[in-house]
């Protein structure tokens, strides 16, 4: 496990924070002239994620390129090739896994996984009703058979509304309002419920880990800033989750 860590930002403690939304464009770089007040993705109403266009409004976070590695991490768990020339791990998930995306926003993660892993059953939750409406539109646009449910973290996972998943994926809010490198003005147009969390940005991630451990969920694939990784890894280990993989902003855990 340490070998994995030594090669990651987790050990160096470097912080990157995710891409500024003003730098995100459909293609061909930012529009000419001064930075628009509204990020280009909101102006266009669309943002690329993992090669597909997603409908975006100010009800949802603009999908970030760093989150695409979360898709690679799940394909790796499923033993599927995700990058030319890179051999995936031995398959860890069942052949037809149940995947739950917590904090789905635009639905970009859940829909991409449903398209890339058609044998999977994909559920997606969010606490925000307006966000779920956008995710629903994106699911229809991409003809992706995902099930959308309003829920605070895992509170609806009870085998009635939502079965116990084989893997949870989550890009929950993890921005710490006190980070001194934070460009709050650049984030001002995005919903704060999608960005900020108390306890140095880690409250929701920690709550999710505790809830997942109580439900004996086998794999967790989580996004956080690399400077938070050591804290997340420690918290996960204290809940019997061992670090399985680190790539960029994404850490993967296996229940032991």
98 binds ligand SAM, rule: CB under 6 A = no
148 forms beta bridges with 124
171 binds ligand SAM, rule: CB under 6 A = yes
29-37, 126-134, 137-145, 231-239 -> range binding ligand SAM (CB under 6 A): 126-134
> Which letter does DSSP use for residue 121 in this model?
E
31-39, 76-84, 86-94, 167-175 -> range binding ligand SAM (CB under 6 A): 167-175
The single residue listed with the structure tokens 């695409």 is 68
153 binds ligand SAM, rule: CB under 6 A = yes
127 binds ligand SAM, rule: CB under 6 A = yes
CA–CA separation, 208 and 175 (whole Å): 16
Site string for ligand SAM, 58-77 (x = CB under 6 A): --xx-x---x----------
User: 252 Cβ partners below 8 Å, 6+ apart?
Assistant: 73, 76, 77, 219, 220, 221, 222, 243, 244, 245, 246
**Angle formed by the axes of helices 68-77 and 108-116, nearest 10°:** 40
CA–CA separation, 72 and 81 (whole Å): 9
1-9, 26-34, 104-112, 238-246 -> range binding ligand SAM (CB under 6 A): 104-112
172 binds ligand SAM, rule: CB under 6 A = yes
Q: Which residues bind ligand SAM (CB under 6 A)?
A: 60-61, 63, 67, 102-106, 108-109, 125-128, 131, 152-153, 171-173, 193-194, 204
């Amino acid at each position: 496990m340490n070998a994995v860590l030594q090669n990651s930002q987790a050990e160096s403690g470097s912080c990157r924070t995710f891409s500024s939304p003003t730098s995100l464009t459909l293609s061909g770089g930012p529009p000419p002239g001064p930075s628009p007040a509204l990020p280009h993705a909101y102006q266009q109403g669309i943002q690329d994620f993992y090669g597909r266009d997603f409908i975006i409004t100010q009800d949802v976070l603009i999908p970030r390129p760093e989150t695409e590695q979360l898709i690679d991490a799940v394909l790796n768990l499923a033993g599927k090739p995700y990058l030319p020339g890179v051999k995936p791990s031995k398959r860890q998930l069942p052949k037809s896994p149940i995947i739950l995306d917590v904090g789905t926003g635009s639905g970009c993660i859940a829909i991409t996984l449903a398209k890339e892993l058609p044998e999977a059953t994909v559920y997606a939750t969010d606490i925000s009703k307006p966000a779920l409406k956008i995710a629903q539109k994106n699911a229809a646009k991409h003809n992706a058979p995902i099930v959308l449910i309003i829920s605070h973290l895992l509170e609806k996972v009870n085998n009635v509304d939502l079965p116990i998943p084989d893997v949870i994926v989550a890009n929950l809010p993890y921005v710490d309002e006190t980070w001194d490198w934070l460009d709050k003005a650049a984030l001002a147009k995005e919903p704060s419920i999608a960005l900020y969390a108390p306890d140095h940005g880690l409250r929701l991630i920690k709550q999710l880990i505790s809830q997942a451990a109580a439900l004996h969920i086998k794999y967790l694939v989580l996004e956080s800033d690399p400077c938070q990784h050591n804290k997340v890894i420690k918290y996960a280990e204290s809940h019997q989750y061992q670090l399985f993989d680190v790539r960029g902003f994404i850490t993967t855990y296996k229940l032991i």
